[in-house]
Copies of this chain bind each other. A is one copy, B any other.
Amino acid sequence: MDRLTALIQDKHNPTVVGLDPQPELLPSQLIEQARQRAAGSMDQMGLDPKDPQQNQGEQAQAVWADHLARAYLRFNLAILEGVADLVPAVKPQIAMYEALGPWGIRAYTGTCRAAADRGLYVIGDVKRGDIGSTAEAYAAHLDGLPLPFAPGQAVDGSARTGGRFPWYEDALTINVYLGSDGVEPFLQAAEHIQGDLFALVRTSNPSGSQIQELGLDADSGGGTIYQRLGELVESWGQSSMGQSGYSRLGAVVGATHPEDGALLRRAMPHTFFLVPGYGAQGGSATDVAPMFDRSGGGAVVNSSRGIIAAWRKDPDYSPQLSVQAALGMVTRDARQAAQAMKDDLNQAIKEAR
Contacts and interface: CB of A to CB of B under 8 A. Distances in A.
Interface of A: 20, 22-24, 28, 31-32, 35, 52, 55-56, 58, 61-62, 64-65, 68, 93, 95-96, 98-102, 105-106, 109, 127-135, 137-138, 140-141, 145-149, 151-155, 157-158, 161, 163, 165-167, 175-182, 200, 203, 205-212, 214-220, 222, 225, 228-229, 232
Contacts of A130: 93, 95, 127
Contact of A101 (B145, B209, B225): B145
A166 B217 contact: no
B131 A129 contact: no
Given A137-B98, A211-B232, A225-B225, A149 B24 contact: no
Given A181-B205, A225-B214, A102 B147 contact: no
Given A52-B152, A64-B149, A203 B178 contact: yes
Contacts of A96: 134, 137
Given A24-B157, A127-B130, A215-B219, 15 more contacts: A22-B146, A23-B147, A23-B158, A35-B149, A52-B151, A65-B145, A98-B138, A98-B140, A102-B102, A102-B166, A131-B205, A177-B211, A178-B208, A179-B205, A179-B211
Contact of A61 (B147, B228, B229): B147
Contact of A207 (B93, B148, B182, B219): B182
Contacts of A106: 102
19 contacts: A20-B134, A24-B157, A35-B149, A35-B154, A56-B149, A58-B165, A61-B163, A68-B148, A93-B130, A99-B145, A100-B145, A100-B146, A131-B207, A177-B200, A177-B211, A178-B207, A179-B208, A179-B209, A214-B216
Given A101-B109, A147-B64, A154-B35, A177 B212 contact: yes
Nearest to A151: B56
A158 to B, nearest CB: 4
A163 B102 contact: no
A38 B141 CA distance: 22
Given A52-B152, A151-B52, A99 B140 contact: yes
B99 A161 contact: no
A146 B23 contact: yes
Contact of A56 (B127, B140, B161): B161
Contact of A158 (B22, B176, B182, B203): B22
Contacts of A100: 140, 145-146
Contact of A145 (B61, B138, B163): B61
A146 B71 CA distance: 14
Contacts of A220: 214-216
A129 B132 contact: no
Contacts of A176: 211
Contacts of A179: 205-212
